[in-house]
Amino acid sequence: MHAMSTWNSISFLTESCAQRKYSMKDREDFLREQARLYKTLLENYNQRLPPVTTIGNKSERIDLPRFEVTVTLLFLKLIRMVETEAKVDFLFDYQMSWIDERLKWSPDDYCGITHLYVGFEDIWIPEVSIVEAHSSQDFREDYQKHVWVQDFPFDEQHCAVKLMPQSFSPQEYGIQTKLGPDLTTALDSLSSYMFLMKRNPSFYLSMIIAPSFVINVLSILGVFLKAADSMGKLGMALTNIMSLTFVLGILATTLPKTEQLPRIGIYVVVNLSIMVAALIIVLTLPHVTRRIFSRIGMADDFKGEISKKKQEKPYMTLNFVAFVLLELANLINFLILVI
């Protein structure tokens, strides 16, 4: 995360250029008055001395307010999100404002000059650092935030950017976080912004999730069709299993290696398991029913040989029940992911 701050505008408190009989006619007059104001303000100003209240004797009941800095967020832009590294980078710009009573003047004494731009080396600048920043240099912060991808691709990322001074205690120095018209005042020296980023799942929904669901529905229907032969059912199931394995390999290179498997990964694994279960049921169910009925026929001497039709009826019933259960499992797996 990179951040920049704008700070080099000095405001005023008020007196009377009219009393000194100065007038502003052109830029030369403005530059003259500006130079006079600059000299007056910084003549006895020490930029190494912060205007922070350091009186700590509470027995005298001195109620001096602590020094406050207002941080206003001006700009935020997502740079990139690296799922494999569980990292997000974004650029934001913030403005700091504060009151330094040593830098005050009356605009009337300087022909209406209400603010002055100076270099940051001329005045004392408040200290604000981003907590957990990867690195920092000259008001630029490189901040890394862990990305929670368990709900990928329906995930939302909450990134807290925490700001705090490093050299002053909370009783002496505070930071106010501000966003637009709203102002939030922190009670200690630690303030933060919370950024919410929600992923658009359209790509994964249209390219992986929906096709995988439809292919599984058709494959389960195909392997349980009575008209299809065993080799056709086997080929259809193995083709779908290979395609799901390929999709799983793509996700393995795209998703980060975290402790918990993302939901889309669980979805593909469950689809793969459903297809494997369908293949096993289709291949083993005829042999299981044949063996069961052969034992029944051997035990019952009065019935004689069990007709083929009597064997097919229970077989078709079990076949239909397995088909319905697997299709329901496929549908439930899809709904759990997208809802």
Tens digits of residue pLDDT in 102-124 = 999 999 888 888 888 888 889 99
Q: Are 241 and 275 in contact (CB under 8 A)?
A: yes
Report whether pLDDT(169) > 50.
Answer: yes
225: left (phi over 0), alpha (psi -120 to 50) or beta: beta
Q: Which residue has the higher pLDDT, 218 or 305?
A: 218
Report whether pLDDT(16) > 50.
Answer: no
Q: Residue written as tokens 């502003």? A: 24
Among the listed ranges 39-53, 119-133, 150-164, 219-233, which one has the minimum average pLDDT value?
Answer: 150-164
Average pLDDT, the chain: 76
What phi, psi does 51 have (nearest 5°)? -80, 50
Among the listed ranges 124-138, 226-240, 319-333, which one has the minimum average pLDDT value?
Answer: 124-138
Report whether pLDDT(307) > 50.
Answer: yes
179 closest CA partner among 74, 68, 25: 74
pLDDT tens digits along 205-223? 888 899 999 999 999 998 8
Give the pLDDT confidence score for residue 35 in this predicted structure: 93
> Would you call 220 exposed, middle or buried from its count of C-beta atoms within 10 A (0-12, 13-18, 19+)?
buried
CA distance 172 to 184: 18
Report whether pLDDT(10) > 80.
Answer: no
Q: What's the rounded mean pLDDT across residues 288-311?
A: 58
Q: Are strands 173-179 and 182-185 parallel, antiparallel or unpaired?
A: antiparallel
Q: What's the rounded mean pLDDT across residues 257-275?
A: 87
Report whether pLDDT(6) > 50.
Answer: no
Q: Which residue has the higher pLDDT, 189 or 318?
A: 318
Among the listed ranges 147-151, 269-273, 274-278, which one has the minimum average pLDDT value?
Answer: 147-151
- Compute and round to an integer the Cα radius of gyration of the chain: 37
- Which of 11-20, 21-30, 77-86, 187-196 is predicted most confidently? 77-86
Confidence of residue 28 (pLDDT cuts 50, 70, 90): confident
Across 178-199, b (16+ Cβ under 10 Å) vs e yields: beeeeeeebeebebbbebebeb
What's domain 2-198's superfamily in CATH?
Neurotransmitter-gated ion-channel ligand-binding domain (2.70.170.10)
Report whether pLDDT(57) > 80.
Answer: no
The tokens for 10 are 């000095």
CATH 3.30.750.24: does it fit domain 202-338? no
Strand positions, DSSP E, 166-286: 173-179, 182-185, 191-198
323 closest CA partner among 191, 219, 202, 228: 219
Q: Alpha carbon of 289 to those of 128, 131, 293: distances in Å?
A: 76, 67, 6
Q: What's the rounded mean pLDDT across residues 242-258?
A: 82
Where are the alpha helices (H) located in 224-262, listed in sequence order? 230-254
DSSP one-letter string for 101-122 = TTS-B-GGGGTT---EE--TTT
Q: Which residue has the higher pLDDT, 220 or 261?
A: 220
Q: What's the rounded mean pLDDT across residues 45-73?
A: 80
The tokens for 18 are 């009219």
- How crowded is the C-beta side of 11, counted as CA atoms within 13 Å? 8
Give the pLDDT confidence score for residue 299 in this predicted structure: 46
CA distance 199 to 163: 26
- How crowded is the C-beta side of 260, counted as CA atoms within 13 Å? 8
**Residue 66: DSSP 8-state:** P
Q: Are strands 145-146 and 87-98 parallel, antiparallel or unpaired?
A: antiparallel
Report whether pLDDT(233) > 50.
Answer: yes
CB atoms within 10 A of CB 152: 22
Cα 107 off chain centre by: 47
**Residue 15: DSSP 8-state:** -
Q: Domain locations in the chain?
A: 2-198, 202-338
CA distance 200 to 198: 7
Q: What's the rounded mean pLDDT across residues 227-232?
A: 73
Q: What's the rounded mean pLDDT across residues 169-197?
A: 61
Give the pLDDT confidence score for residue 228 in this predicted structure: 64
For the chain, the maximum distance between any two Cα atoms, rounded to a whole number of angstroms, is: 131
CA distance 274 to 213: 11
Q: What's the rounded mean pLDDT across residues 69-98?
A: 80
Give yes or no for a cis peptide into 153 (omega within 30° of 0). Answer: yes
